[in-house]
Amino acid sequence: MATDSPTPSVSADFHVFDTTLRDGAQREGISFSVADKLATARLLDEIGVGYIEGGWPGALPKDTEFFARARTELKLRHAVLVAFGATRKAGVRVEDDPQVRALLDAETPVVCLVAKSDVRHVRDALRTTLEENLAMVADTVAFLVAHGRRVFVDCEHFFDGYAADPDYGVQVLRAAFGAGAEVGVLCDTNGGMLPMGVARVVADVRSRVEGRLGIHCQDDTGCAVANSLAAVEAGVTHVQGTANGYGERAGNADTFALVANLVTKMGLPVVPAGCLAELQRVSHAIAELANIAPDDHQPYVGTSAFAHKAGLHASAIKVSPELYNHLDPAVVGNDMRILVTEMAGRASVELKGRELGVDLDGHADVVGTVVDRVKVLEADGWSFEAADASFELLLRSQLPGAPAPLFELESYRTTVEHWGNGVVVSEATVKIHLHDDDGTVERVISTGEGNGPVNALDNALRQALVSRHPELADVSLADYKVRILGWKGGTSATTRVLIDTTDGVGEWTTVGVHDNIVEASWHALVDALTYAVRHR
């Protein structure tokens, strides 16, 4: 058996149980490798959850391998590893059931068993008697306990079953506890519950059954986190969730929102000190392993979770961030951001200036000019909320003593050639004037090739500038996004280009807008290289 002796959750009276590696993996589109699972388990351990359900050994070869490798490769500081499986098959002796054997072979200190607790499922899905199902629960729990395992029991479809026949749900729990189970988990398997109903059922069950109760909520009504918290309020002391709410269909209760809410809103110290500040980092790292883009708008951990766009919000935040934040974002490892858009007011620009390190004290006129300019530009299709570098250049250009542009454009030209053999080549020529401090002007003509006109323009312009600004040699385009703003209609629609640029250390985003895609790209490119020269 695994010999780790992990620290239990700080509140020994409360379990946070994460099932990303079992139920989270049931989400469409996720296919964790064993290495991904090991890495995910380590990350979950860093946020201090008490239990990590690793998968179903015996059912999935990958999960069997995960538990085998976990014995030597996983050193958990906080969490206890859990193997998941079902109660024995109907009509089979528990010691003869290979899947139950596989649970022992996983050698985890804890096993979580899924058991039927809805009479309709027993009759129609298991196709057995209500008595045999109770025996399956009791036999399997007793067998595992006799082999030294702590056992939790997930009572599948508990809430739907309770509506149909509450006495049977109670009998299943009593069978589990009677055989030595430590937790009876009430599962909203179809995810159809609302918080009021969950609270009522939990209170009722608590009045009828002795033993620790848990909650497992699917998110089909969008209420998985709320349902879980309602269950906690009603007395459960074991809560199951998955990272970023990954899970079957609409997903599960999000472990990060659960933990953050339990600690910061309900005052339950369910993770060790210091772990809460890891939530955002761990959420994003697990999203990478799952190969799912992080949800920017995810509560607590999304990059927009504390981003403020409305001018009125910014004006109050300038007085005190608490006025428009439910929590200090740093508590969960996140940051507040101010977005400057057409919805900005003076306070938005002042706060954004502070965030960017631009001193606007004594420049109320500049602030006013920039607010007006942004509103006009955004009405024309520009968007600065994702293009901080372009916004910063705009802001600084309005301040007294602002540096002159890097160059004066004489002209540029790009071509796209499709050769007879199917090869497509782009070439660009830029002609610019570089001004020296002593007033002399150098005319530079430069040509570049690329796999497209924008790439060729980028190469030509950088080559023209690099003798003056050698730092541009390390700069390259990281991403290029185009959005056609259809509201002008037809082929004359306005094009917005966002360019991400990197120097291998940092990354910055610039924007350009024009009816012509190459000209829109040119604006974004010039900002990208100007920003590189001014800031790197």
Ligand X SMILES: CC(=O)SCCNC(=O)CCNC(=O)[C@H](O)C(C)(C)COP(=O)(O)OP(=O)(O)OC[C@H]1O[C@@H](n2cnc3c(N)ncnc32)[C@H](O)[C@@H]1OP(=O)(O)O
List residues binding ligand CC(=O)C(=O)O (CB under 6 A): 23, 114, 154, 156, 187, 189, 216, 218
Query: Quick one: 78 or 116, whose CB is closer to ligand CC(=O)C(=O)O?
Result: 116
246 binds, among ligand CC(=O)C(=O)O, ligand X, none (CB under 5 to 8 A by kind): none
What is the x/- site pattern for ligand X, positions 52-81, by CB under 6 A? ----x--xx---------------------
The conformation of residue 400, written as its DSSP 8-state character, comes to: T
| Number of residues written out for the chain | 536
Give Cα separations from 477 to 69, 424, 458, 506 (angstroms): 41, 20, 8, 12
Residue 100 binds ligand X (CB under 6 A): no
Query: Quick one: 245 or 294, whose CB is closer to ligand CC(=O)C(=O)O?
Result: 245
Task: Tell me the Cα Rg of the chain.
Answer: 30
Place of tokens 């057409």: 342
Provide the CB-side half-sphere exposure for 35 (13 A, CA).
1
Q: How far is the CB of 156 from ligand CC(=O)C(=O)O (least distance, A)?
A: 4
218 binds, among ligand X, ligand CC(=O)C(=O)O, none (CB under 5 to 8 A by kind): ligand CC(=O)C(=O)O
**Ramachandran quadrant class, 244 (left: phi over 0; alpha: psi -120 to 50; beta: rest):** left
Phi then psi for 411, rounded to 5 degrees? -170, 160
Query: Quick one: 253 or 477, whose CB is closer to ligand CC(=O)C(=O)O?
Result: 253
Residue 18 binds ligand X (CB under 6 A): no
Return the structure tokens found at 166. 């509450």
Query: Quick one: 141 or 275, whose CB is closer to ligand CC(=O)C(=O)O?
Result: 141
Q: Are strands 212-217 and 183-188 parallel, antiparallel or unpaired?
A: parallel
Q: How far is the CB of 461 from ligand CC(=O)C(=O)O (least distance, A)?
A: 56
Q: Rounded to whole angstroms, how far apart are CA atoms 380 and 495?
A: 10
Residue 96 binds ligand X (CB under 6 A): no
Return the structure tokens found at 341. 């858009």
Residue 392 binds ligand X (CB under 6 A): no
Q: How far is the CB of 219 from ligand X (least distance, A)?
A: 13
Q: Rounded to whole angstroms, how far apart are CA atoms 243 and 226?
A: 16
Nearest one of 42, 151, 166 to 103, comparing CA atoms: 151
Residue 242 binds ligand X (CB under 6 A): no
Query: Quick one: 108 or 426, whose CB is closer to ligand X?
Result: 108
216 binds, among ligand X, ligand CC(=O)C(=O)O, none (CB under 5 to 8 A by kind): ligand CC(=O)C(=O)O
What is the x/- site pattern for ligand X, positions 171-200, by CB under 6 A? ------------------x-----------
Q: In what order do the strands lie in the sheet with 494-502?
A: 476-485, 494-502, 507-514
116 binds, among ligand X, ligand CC(=O)C(=O)O, none (CB under 5 to 8 A by kind): ligand X
Q: How far is the CB of 29 from ligand X (least distance, A)?
A: 16
Q: How far is the CB of 24 from ligand X (least distance, A)?
A: 11
Q: How many CB atoms lie within 10 A of CB 530?
A: 21
Query: Quick one: 254 or 378, whose CB is closer to ligand X?
Result: 254
Q: Where are the alpha helices (DSSP H) in 278-363?
A: 279-290, 311-319, 346-356
| Cβ partners under 8 Å of residue 107, min gap 6 | 1, 2, 67, 71
Contact, 301 vs 280, CB < 8 A? yes
Q: Rounded to whole angstroms, how far apart are CA atoms 450 and 456?
A: 4
Return the sign of the alpha-carbon dihedral for residues 92, 95, 101, 104: positive
Q: How far is the CB of 128 from ligand X (least distance, A)?
A: 8
Find the part of the chain contacting ligand X (CB under 6 A) among 86-94, 168-176, 368-376, 451-459: 86-94
Nearest one of 9, 65, 7 to 255, comparing CA atoms: 9
Residues of span 114-133 touching ligand X by CB under 6 A: 114-116, 125-126
Q: Which residues of this protein are in contact with ligand X, per CB under 6 A?
A: 56, 59-60, 86-87, 89, 114-116, 125-126, 136, 156, 189, 248
